[in-house]
Amino acid sequence: MIVKPIKTCIFQEGEDLLAFIGRYFKKLPERSVIVVTSKIVALAEKRTAVVENILTKEKLIRAESELAIPTKHVWLTVKDGMVMSSAGIDESNANGKLILLPKDSFKTARWLRKKLQKEYGVKQLGVLITDSRTIPLRAGVTGVALGYAGFHGIKDYRGTPDIFGRKFKFSRTNVADSLATAAVLVMGEGNQQQPLAIIEKAPVEFCDKIRCQELHIDIQDDMYRPLFSKLPR
């Protein structure tokens, strides 16, 4: 698998996202995955806010979350079925504003894929919208897929034999988040100015339709359920 970050100019709030992407890709090979950071998707949608004090910021975080619990450093929140800090609201590289998450990353990924397929004349194409996340008890951030289109986001091994013939009962590979982590690693978190990337030779199954909830696990069935004791039953 080859992951190539793309250095760009600074994306401006309200800028045309499709035109911006087209500026940096002269052609797209078949069976490639285009990676777009959620920050420029949100900026294209003008999903920004100016917050004057900590109380109004708290109100915004709560409004953007399904669950919000204050912690020592940030808010522990659940948004769109994912655990994240402060509902994904980010102050970095925001020029004094707060940048929220995109409205619907799956919808945007489908739209981008359709437009890019037509523009570049490709059939098997994936689009992946990424963000960063923390993992319990581990320092640093990794990538996460907020939305994607054109490939299956999960590979299911359940019912298939391992090398000794024992059938898997639980094993599934999270393809979408794995690709996001690889992409975010090379795109960077600082001032690299690389909000785009292309992944070639990825071990994915391309498709025209996906199930947006294929990665979702109900909190009542999740192994981390005890950590969310404040969730209403």
Q: What is the pLDDT of residue 231?
A: 53
Q: pLDDT per residue over 89-118, tens digit each? A: 988 777 788 999 999 999 999 999 999 999
pLDDT of res. 81: 87
Share of the chain above pLDDT 70, in %: 97
Confidence of residue 228 (pLDDT cuts 50, 70, 90): low
Position with higher pLDDT, 133 vs 222: 133
Domains, the chain, in order of start with CATH, read 1-43+101-209 (3.30.1330.100), 48-100 (no CATH)
pLDDT(33) > 80: yes
Band of pLDDT at residue 181, cut at 50, 70 and 90: very high
The pLDDT of residue 18: 97
Average pLDDT of the chain is 91
At CB < 8 A and 24+ separation, what contacts does 89-97 make?
89/49, 89/57, 89/60, 89/61, 89/64, 90/39, 92/189, 93/39, 93/191, 94/48, 96/50, 97/48, 97/49, 97/50
pLDDT of 170 reads 80
pLDDT at position 36 is 98
**What's the pLDDT at 122?**
97
221 pLDDT tier (thresholds 50, 70, 90)? confident
**pLDDT value at residue 136:** 82
Asked whether residue 232 carries a pLDDT value surpassing 60, the answer given is no
